[in-house]
Chain A
Amino acid sequence: MAGRRRQASDTGLGEDWNLLEITGGMYSPLVTQEMEALERRIESLRVLARQAVASGERDRARGLRAELRQAERQWDEALARLEAESAQKLDPAAGSEPPDAAGRSRARGVSGEHSGSAALLPAREQVHQALTLLGGPAAPRLIVAVHGALYAGSLPVARLTSLRRDEERSFRSAPYARPYYVCAALTADLLAPARGLLAISAWPMDRRIIGPLSPRVDYLIAAIRIAERFRDLDISGASADSRRLLWRFAANIPRAASSISTMDPDEIVIAARAELAVHERADSDLRTIGAARARAQLDDAEQLFGAGLRLSRSASGDS
């Protein structure tokens, strides 16, 4: 989790947030640093091993060669991680596949047509689109899956990892300058940013608070809204990705559907609503209370991006 804080000058973006998402150059600085240290060590080990062999120190030569093998293996693994990250950035749908000759990713709509263009909107707007449909806080993976299945244009999941931090900086430097911000969801008990969730600042506070029942409630609401979207459009023409997305919900909701081929959006909605009725009341009570606390205790930026706890100097005794 720790890492060098990214400076605006790193990306060359400055304060101009209207640019399309960043491409190239911003691979994880930690992996690169790690590889550079390994490269220095490997170089050193090679020289020392050669010298040990030449001077007949067999034990030391063997030990150094074992160290060399281990360092080279670690380097290979780090390279694979770097490769996976860069491939994700260029074509998130293909995962680790290399991009095609034009370096473009495919666009997808519910009807499955290919428009062959790259991202049509900045990442933050695509996230806004997907979250608006989902209706509640969601994890980057789900946002990317929803966007990929139901909207045109690609959305690289790697772009989302820094989005919340970028939006916070943007807000703090010019509060409310934009009509909405991609922000955090806060935990009801500690009012801290919930791990791995994104929300929209325009939502009321209680929609941006997470209690223990909220992950399930928001999952059911998402299922309902995606199924209703299918009902409004023609499901028989739906792309495989869209069907798979809907099935990911239907498969885990009691009595929603028995198989991906017999899925019926109406049945899914009914089943999700049935379970939602069980949790809804308790969840919304907790969220309401949490929201009231947040409005009372937090400033504007903290209400959007959360308050962290800080250990007081005297309390942080041991490791």
Chain B
Amino acid sequence: MNAVEAQLDRIRGEVAPKSHNARTIAALTSNPGCARRAIMDAAGVDKQRLAAYAGFPAPFGQSQFAIGRGNAFEAQVKANGCAELLKLFREHLGLPVPEVSYDNLEDVGGITTLPVRHARTRALLARAASEGPDAGTLFDHPLLRLEVAGRPVYLEPDLIAFHLHGRFHVVEIKSFPVIDGQADGDKVAAAAIQSAVYVLALRGLLAEFGTGQEAVADTVVLVCPENFSNKPTAALLDVRRQLTVLRRQLSRLERVESLLSLLPPELTFDLDLDATGVPRRAPGALAAAIRTVEARYAPECLASCEMCFFCRDEASGRTAALGRVIRDELGAVDEVSAVLGLADGTLVPGEEQAEATAVLRAARRLRHECLSGAA
């Protein structure tokens, strides 16, 4: 085990690591400058548990019931050689009738370790890419790999379908419904960016065998229940925009190694659990440890990161906490108190704050006019 892994293990403490998945990667790339998140995700820290123990429980989490419902729907559409999926693919992708081949990559002769599954996934997909439709159509529980912040992360999409025109399509199976042709916009957006992560990973895998990018379609197939029934329907999602954003953000992720080198070597987020699993470490000490790693809070964090309330509390009083637009406009002014002081004239602006001050004073005047006019 190398030094990076050892340091990440020490930071995480004596618990099993939570693995990255497409959801966490998508969230990570939406805030690439946040070292705190980058370190915690790389170390596989249970952010929800840490935030709650430090006194800032996250406002969201995945309920076990939602997970169960999702698993049941996925099992249903994949049953019997993916009978329901084949019907959808024939209708929506023009999958020809002879192409029904099904390969299950969940285990390899009883072995379920990630490296073995990944090796077999590579072998089967490479063969399909070079030999054409006879060499495989449906690949269930494939195991892909993507380099994130300088480290490999294993990823498991729901399915990859491959058909006659020589292209692989990533398939995502979700249990949120499509009602009268409409689905929850946020959920669809999340599914789109997660699928884009898989598309990137799949392109990377095939590139190792000399297969071009276009072999993986930039439309993904989203399978959801239709209306209020269990009957599945499929929609094609164009993820070109998400792919562009992801590629750019992934390249901007600083390598975890360089982030780690800035941290004290004995840093740990370990809860120091006793024999029954109760934390012994004082919450204050944990919070102090977390604060040694710099965060980059923005209101968007509230929707995607379990540490959001902790970081928001830390950032309160600073303009950065109000969002990127405001932070960009008021670039040179860090503190909210300074903003207010410049606006009402109690503070004298420095040279680089002159422009921001003019904007603030005008805004204050307008606000005053609006409020007194309304009275």
Contacts and interface: CB of A to CB of B under 8 A. Distances in A.
Interface string B18-43: 00000000000000000000000000
Contacts of B106: 195
Given A59-B284, A254-B90, A41 B103 contact: no
Interface stretch (A61-69, A116-124, A201-209, A232-240): A61-69
A216 to B, nearest CB: 4
A40 B273 CA distance: 13
B282 to A, nearest CB: 6
Contacts of B65: 80
A203 B100 CA distance: 24
A215 B84 CA distance: 13
Interface residues of A, number: 52
B109 interface: yes
A219 interface: yes
A216 B136 CA distance: 13
Contacts of A1: 112
B97 to A, nearest CB: 6
Interface in A232-253: 249, 251-252
B317 interface: no
A110 B86 CA distance: 29
Contact of B100 (A43, A187, A216, A308): A216
Interface residues of B, number: 44
Contact of B97 (A64, A80, A212, A254): A254
Contacts of B98: 278-279
B102 A41 contact: no
Interface string B277-289: 1110011100000
A23 interface: no
Nearest to B88: A252
Interface string A120-156: 0000000000000000000101100000000000000
B310 to A, nearest CB: 12
A44 B276 contact: yes
B362 interface: no
Interface stretch (B50-58, B160-168, B216-224, B238-246): B50-58
A176 B112 CA distance: 32
Nearest to A318: B115
- Chain A to chain B: the 5 pairs with minimum beta-carbon distance, closest first: A215-B81, A309-B109, A308-B110, A192-B109, A66-B52
Interface of B: 49, 52-55, 57, 64-65, 79-84, 86-87, 90, 97-98, 100-104, 106-116, 136, 274, 276-279, 282-284
Given A41-B277, A44-B274, A67-B279, 15 more contacts: A41-B276, A63-B53, A66-B53, A67-B53, A192-B109, A192-B110, A195-B107, A213-B100, A213-B101, A215-B81, A216-B83, A216-B100, A252-B84, A252-B87, A279-B98
